Amino acid sequence: MLNVLMGSVFDPHFIAQNSYIAVFVLVFLEALAIPFFPGEITLITAGIYASQNHGTSPYVIVLAAIVGGFLGSLGGYFIGFYGGFKLAVNRGKRIGLTYERLKVGHYAFAKMGIWIVILGRFVSLFRSLLGLLAGITRMPKIRFLIANLVGIVAWSSLYGFGSYTLGNSIKHYSTIFTYVALPVVVVALIIGVILLKKNEKRLVLKAEQAYPGPIEHLI
């Protein structure tokens, strides 16, 4: 029964014909760190359907994505804030998440958290972890709420109104964008990891200066 229900929700025809509900649910789940279905595909499918069926409002579709994404990321943030951080402190070393690296994460989100949350919204997979990571690294709530809202409004508007305006042709542009953007993102990640490794000691020192003492004090 559950398999049938999930299969129906993720079916493009269901997304098209139940645009508002499907967009809200799928974008919410993705933002809650449950990326069953890419948010871009959800919005593109619903936007194309709205462009061909005038009874469906692109404004409501975008609003559904904004509300779903905002609430999903907010849920992920509170999970990370109240449970994720303690779990990372107690079990993180098993996956290489040392106390020093946790402090570096705190330091990075304290310095650039707003930009990480806003720009990260446009990166698949990473987008679904934004709220969780912001919560684990104790990003201030007000900053997260502002960045989360700005990011989800920009992302939802781009894909929702873009697919409505371009119709089926957006699939072509989306494919080109994916082929161009994916290698760029991969290269950027590789460079980022290399730079992080080279500067890890310096970042650890800065993080320790910003957050001296046992990491438990950050809880």
What are the residue boundaries of the structural domains of the chain, listed by start? 2-218
Higher pLDDT, 117 or 1: 117
Confidence grade of residue 2 (pLDDT, cut at 50, 70, 90) = very low
pLDDT at 16: 53
Q: How does DSSP classify residue 203?
A: H
| CA–CA distance, 59 with 194 (Å, rounded to integer) | 42
Q: What's the chain's average pLDDT?
A: 75
CB 31 within 8 Å of CB 128 = yes
Q: What is the pTM of this model?
A: 0.74
All residues at 6 or more sequence positions from 214 whose CB lies less than 8 Å from its CB, including other chains: none
Tokens of 94: 């098993």
Q: What pLDDT, on the 0 to 100 scale, is given for residue 58?
A: 87
Q: What are the tens digits of pLDDT across the range 114-133?
A: 888 988 888 877 888 888 88
Instruction: For residues 6-32, give the mean pLDDT.
Output: 71
Residue 81: name the closest of 133, 142, 128, 151 by CA: 133
Q: Could you tell me the sign of the dihedral formed by the alpha carbons of 187, 188, 189, 192, in that order? A: positive
Q: Residue 95 belongs to what H/E stretch?
A: none
